[in-house]
Structure 1
Amino acid sequence: MIIDSHQHFWKYNPKKHAWINEEMSVIRRDFLPSDLQTVYAENGVDGCVAVQADQNLQETDFLLELAHDNDFIKGVVGWVDLRNENVERDLEKYASDKKLKGYRHIVQGEEDHNFLLRPNFLNGISKLEQYNAVYDILVFPHQLSATLEFVKQFPNQKFVIDHIAKPYIKDGFFDGWAVLMKEIAKQENVYCKVSGLITEADYNSWTPEQMHPYMELVLNAFGPSRCMYGSDWPVCLVAGKYSQVKQLTTNFIASLSAEEQKAIMGGNAVSFYGL
């Protein structure tokens, strides 16, 4: 079973989706389950986890509605304001929905390098475990030292790093990112999504070989039991086709055992998110 652990849906709105710049104009349109179902049929993908792209409760409700109407959407990573002192009200509300698996905040967009360590945010994170909710960590490499401190504070909370923490592949930067990713991987409650790589390289001239050192480091650090395949569709379309994204991972892990390949391509997402 192949599970895409990371994709998005949206009804395009120029104001709300201002982050989709000129260079990414190919994704300035609606992307809904019917679009993705076609892509999955062509690529032999069985299901997915839909991840929030907007920071409001309407986004969480929107994704849950799509998940209830489309069985191939196996789980949702939504958003609640984890800084809110009354966050438990929202966590309580969504806890009864079997498709809601966890939460994410767009930390990469926060100017404070130590956003993850703010007391009000830590308070929100401390509530997740009792609701059996996971947390997706979306950060840039310069936020990884805070990420390390952050995950150490919650040894029983399930975390996953999105997009291998968005290393600056286009610029060839590696070492600083690599050192911190290895440290973070020592925390056994932290997983890593092998996703979002081609959009961190040059959209038009990336090669699989360029990605391999980053993929290798993550695979060695987290091991095949804590890595999961994700496409980052439709964002990935600015740099390539879905088939290219999938092949990048399947070709890279082809030398692993059949069991390890199955785990990365779906099994780990099933167990991590409880799909």
Structure 2
Amino acid sequence: MRLDSHQHFWEYDPKKHEWITPEMSRIRRNFLPADLSPLLQDAKIDGCIAVQADESQRETDFLLDLASQNDWIKGVVGWADLKSDQLDEVLDRYSESKTLVGFREVLQGRDPAYMLQEEFIRGLRKIGQRGYAYDILIFPKHLAATLDLVKKCPDQRYVIDHLAKPYIKDGEWKEWKKAMAPLAERELMHCKLSGMITEADWQKWTPGQLIPYLEIALELFGPERLMYGSDWPVCLLAGEYERYWEVIEQFTSALSPSEKSKIMGDTAAKFYQIP
């Protein structure tokens, strides 16, 4: 199964999506399944994982509703406040959903110490006990704290979104690799080859600028813990869907068919437990 492990849907609202700044005018509109479906078909991709873009329970319900109407949305990574005293009740509400496969918060906007709070760790353990995966949305400055978190919750399935957003525009990779390496040693830690072009120069990036980061990710995680993700429609700020997809297709063309299949869908299907 070929899967896009990371994309978003939204009905644009200036208040709810205040993170979409004026310079991001390209994505200041609705993006729904009808917009993505032809792109996936052109790329011969069987389905996708829809990931939260708004921190609300309403967002989780919105994505689950879209998935119920489109069987090619294979899984939903929703939002929940892991620190909430009502987390058990929230999880109980979704206990019958087979489409909800994990959760995510926008940790990149918080101090690294946030994820090491006792309440957060307690919540992370709760979702893990119920079989949910956790997407880690962070910047490189969060990597040390993420390692501490993983040590406290070693049995949780994790995936680092967007390679932890390395400084591709500046061409820096040595410190990022050094911080990623101990995380990659954890067998339950995975990584998404997503969100790269928006960390590069939006107008001037080239495939060659992405290759060092792709090679390092492959070296650290191997194809069995890497998954392709478009980060559509955010990727449109720096390039069309097919342009980034072609970069990953070209990069994986040097691998064996089995290794390429893992990155292009098998890893994501296994990680998110998609049948």
TM-score (norm 2): 0.98
Q: Which consecutive residues of structure 1, in runs of 5 or more, have no partner in the other structure?
A: none
Aligned pairs for 1:16-27 (under 5 A) are: 16-27=16-27
1:160 corresponding residue in structure 2: 159
For residues 126-179 of structure 1, give each alpha carbon's deviation from its aligned partner in whole angstroms, at most 9, with x where no partner exists: 111221100000000011100111112222110000000001111222122110
* Other structure's SS at 2:12 match: coil
CA deviations over 1:222-270 (Å, ceiling 9, x no partner) = 1110000000000001100111111111111111110000010000111
The match for 1:189 is 188
Matched, 1:45 2:40: no
- Distance (Å, rounded) in 1 between the aligned partners of 2:178 and 2:85: 35
Question: Which position in structure 1 is the counterpart of 2:61?
Answer: 61
Q: Find the residue that maps to 1:237 and give its secondary structure.
A: helix
Work out whether residues 4 and 265 of structure 1, in 8 Å CA contact, stay in contact via their aligned partners in 2.
Answer: yes
The whole-number CA distance in structure 1 between the counterparts of 2:10 and 2:223 is: 31
Give the 5 Å matches for 1:51-200. 51-110=51-110, 112-200=111-199
In 2, the alpha carbon distance for the partners of 1:177 and 1:119 equals 27
Paired amino acid for 2:108: Q
Paired position in structure 1 for 2:251: 252
Cα offsets for 1:94-117 (capped at 9, x unmatched): 12100000000000011x221111
Runs of 5+ in structure 2 lacking a partner?
A: none
Give CA-to-partner distance per residue, 1:14-62, whole Å, 9 cap, x none: 1111111122110000000111112112221110000000011000000
- Measured in 1, the distance between the counterparts of 2:13 and 2:93 equals 27
Contact 2:51 2:77 in 1 (8 A): yes
Partner of 1:217: 216
Letter aligned with residue 251 of structure 1: Q
Q: Conserved in 2, the CA contact under 8 Å of 1:3 and 1:266?
A: yes
When structure 1 is superposed on structure 2, of 173-182 and 52-61 the one drifting more is: 173-182
Distance 1:151 1:120 in 2: 15
- Would you say 1:11 and 2:11 are equivalent positions? yes
> Structure 1, residues 190-249: CA drift from partner, whole Å, max 9, x if none?
000000000000000001111111111111001110000000000001100111111111
* Same amino acid, percent of matched pairs: 51
Q: 8 Å contact 2:165–2:196 — kept in the other structure?
A: yes
Aligned partners of 1:249 and 1:271: how far apart in 2?
Answer: 20
Q: Contact 2:161 / 2:194 at 8 angstroms: preserved in 1?
A: yes
Determine if contact 2:191/2:221 at 8 Å carries over to the other structure. yes
Q: Give, in whole Å, the separation in 1 of the partners of 2:42 and 2:255.
A: 24
Other structure's SS at 1:225 match: helix
TM-score by length of 1: 0.98
Q: Does the 8 A contact of 1:152 with 1:187 survive in 2?
A: no
| Paired residues, number | 274
**SS in structure 2 at match of 1:95:** coil
- Please provide the CA RMSD for this pair: 0.8
In structure 1, C-alpha distance between the alignment counterparts of 2:250 and 2:95, rounded to whole Å: 38
What secondary structure is seen at the aligned counterpart in 2 of 1:74? strand
Secondary structure of the residue aligned to 1:128 is helix
Deviation of 1:86 after TM superposition, in Å, equals 2.2
SS in 1 for 2:16: coil
Q: List structure 1 runs of 4+ shifted beyond 2 angstroms.
A: none
Q: Distance in 2 between matches of 1:259 and 1:221?
A: 18
Q: Match of 2:159, as an amino acid?
A: V
Structure 1, 69-78 or 170-179: larger mean CA deviation: 170-179
Q: In 2, Cα distance between the equivalents of 1:84 and 1:154?
A: 18
